[in-house]
Chains A and B, each alone.
Chain A
Amino acid sequence: MIELNSVTKQYGSLAAVDNVSFSVKAGEYFALLGPNGAGKTTIVKMLLDFTQPTAGSLSVNGLPSTNVSSRTAVGYLAENYHISPHLSGWQYLQRCAELLDISRSEAADQCRRIVELVGMQGREHTKTSTYSKGMIQRFGLGAALIGNPKLLILDEPTSGLDPIGIREIRQLLESLKNQGMTIFLNSHLLSEVEKICDNAAIIDRGRLLVKDKISTLVKDGDTLEDVFVKFVKG
């Protein structure tokens, strides 16, 4: 589903991503972990062709990431999500559906279902300028789910959510995984990742430190946090 081959991204003399290779199979729930500035978001941006790699290649859905068709059936939630403040959550979801060429009636059905799924019933018709960060994040996740994507790329999906919101989103992602969706997650919340992900990769300063099954990484009574600190601190 996702493949990175010797990918490097250079910003001047700084290597934000340095010769990284890994793959994510269909139906996998994959977490990309790393401290701030490790290069996680840069990898996501390269997957979506928001920025081009300096060297190496990436493919999504079997197509080079530079091919616009690779983003068909991909849902994306950005870190620090924003929505135009003059739109309501409903209008925003409708726009996302319209851009995917979903018919009007089908779009209305999907939007209704998604509003329920992200727990925003009753607030969908108010302007997003009145929403909290957590509410915007929920609508962002809802927008990523429009069009029933096969691959979901989430950059810090629980950012700004309270503990109850985090739990709800986790349950939602688990149910999506059970439906066969591939999920690529960037997150700092290691306890959440440990609970729900199958595989994880840890990167630091642009370099891939390890990629394995969570069950293999975490053993002997350690937590994922212990493993993370061990790898990052060297």
Chain B
Amino acid sequence: MPKAFSSIIKIAKYTFTDEVRQRSFIVMFVICVTLVFLMRGCYHGNYTVNGQDLDAGAIVGSVSRATFHVIAVGVMLLTALFSMRVFRRDRDEGTQSSIFSKPITRWQYVIGKVLGLWVLSAFFMFILHAIIFLTVSITLKVVMPGYLIASLLCSFDLLFVVIAVLFFSLMMPDIAAFLCIMGIGIISFVADGIFAISHSPMAQAMMQQQGSQQDWTAWRVVYYLWPKLSGTQHFASSFIGSEGFSGFVYIYPLINILIYGLIFSALLFWRFRNEDII
């Protein structure tokens, strides 16, 4: 294995193990697993829509998709919380000065940190999704292999969150970095919501009546250009149930988030290169 790659893997491994040993991580993990176990009750309810009882298949599909989104958003928040303090802790505990006094470059360190945090958060989310997958498979005898594929695809959102939070945490207090990524996430979800509403027949009719096309155009720009955290999640969830892969147009959110990931990576490397090691 080339030396550069081996150093990255080691730093990623230390990041993973150091984070897992944190008491706050263990507490969060236990709480999340407990909450996900409690969600299994949602599959056994009777649901009525417009006076008609939903059949078991529809319930499984809808509830699984809902739990998928809840878990993905929850883990995204936790990932931001874990990532925001990583550089500060490494500085305070002397890890950075210990690493950089050895022949290890800054980009190796940064990639190792990103990789460690990404693997950790993706693993965290995969376990929670796997609990739902197993619950549905065992108790309801419905196997949804797409659920786990969706979880893996959704981990690209987590990669973006890790990179962006690490970058923000170099420029502002940790909590501000967390709030920044929260803001990006909220705007992404709101923009997607507004875009969906603007495409509903009712909204189309209203727009034609009032001639308010311009109001939606601004949101349309935000919808296409803003980091598509929500869009990637929806793209991933399209693999759950019978929907399956719906064509390359639907990949746009994933491409968008990967491009933003690259942009923030470049900013992160540039910023960290000029950072003084204390």
Residues of A whose CB lies within 8 Å of any CB of B are: 45, 48-51, 68-69, 71-72, 74-76, 78, 81-86, 95-96, 98-101, 143-144, 153
Contacts and interface: CB of A to CB of B under 8 A. Distances in A.
B246 to A, nearest CB: 46
Given A99-B7, A143-B98, A45 B276 contact: yes
Interface stretch (B87-95, B197-205, B264-272): B87-95
A86 B104 CA distance: 23
A81 B98 CA distance: 9
A68 B105 contact: yes
A201 to B, nearest CB: 21
A50 B97 contact: yes
A84 B100 contact: no
Given A71-B101, A76-B101, A96-B98, A82 B6 contact: no
Given A69-B103, A71-B101, A86-B18, A99 B276 contact: no
Interface in B96-141: 97-105
Interface in B1-21: 3, 6-7, 10, 14, 18, 21
B95 A84 contact: yes
Contacts of A72: 103
15 contacts: A50-B97, A50-B277, A71-B100, A71-B101, A71-B103, A82-B92, A82-B93, A83-B93, A83-B94, A85-B93, A86-B22, A96-B102, A98-B10, A143-B98, A153-B101
A86 B21 contact: yes
Contacts of A86: 18, 21-22
Determine the interface band of chain B, counting residues with CB < 8 A from chain A.
20 to 34
Contact of A48 (B14, B93, B100): B100
Contacts of B7: 99
A75 B105 CA distance: 16
B151 to A, nearest CB: 29
Given A45-B277, A68-B103, A71-B101, 18 more contacts: A50-B97, A50-B276, A71-B102, A76-B97, A78-B94, A78-B97, A78-B98, A81-B94, A82-B92, A82-B93, A83-B94, A84-B18, A99-B7, A99-B10, A99-B104, A101-B3, A101-B6, A143-B98
Contacts of B105: 68
Contacts of B10: 98-99
A69 B93 CA distance: 25
Contacts of B98: 78, 96, 143
A225 B73 CA distance: 63
A76 B101 CA distance: 6
A98 to B, nearest CB: 6
Nearest to B4: A68
B17 to A, nearest CB: 9
Nearest to B273: A52
Contacts of A98: 10
A18 B3 CA distance: 37
Nearest to A74: B101
Interface in B53-101: 92-95, 97-101
B170 to A, nearest CB: 15
Nearest to A147: B102
Nearest to B277: A50
B93 A68 contact: no
Contacts of A68: 103-105
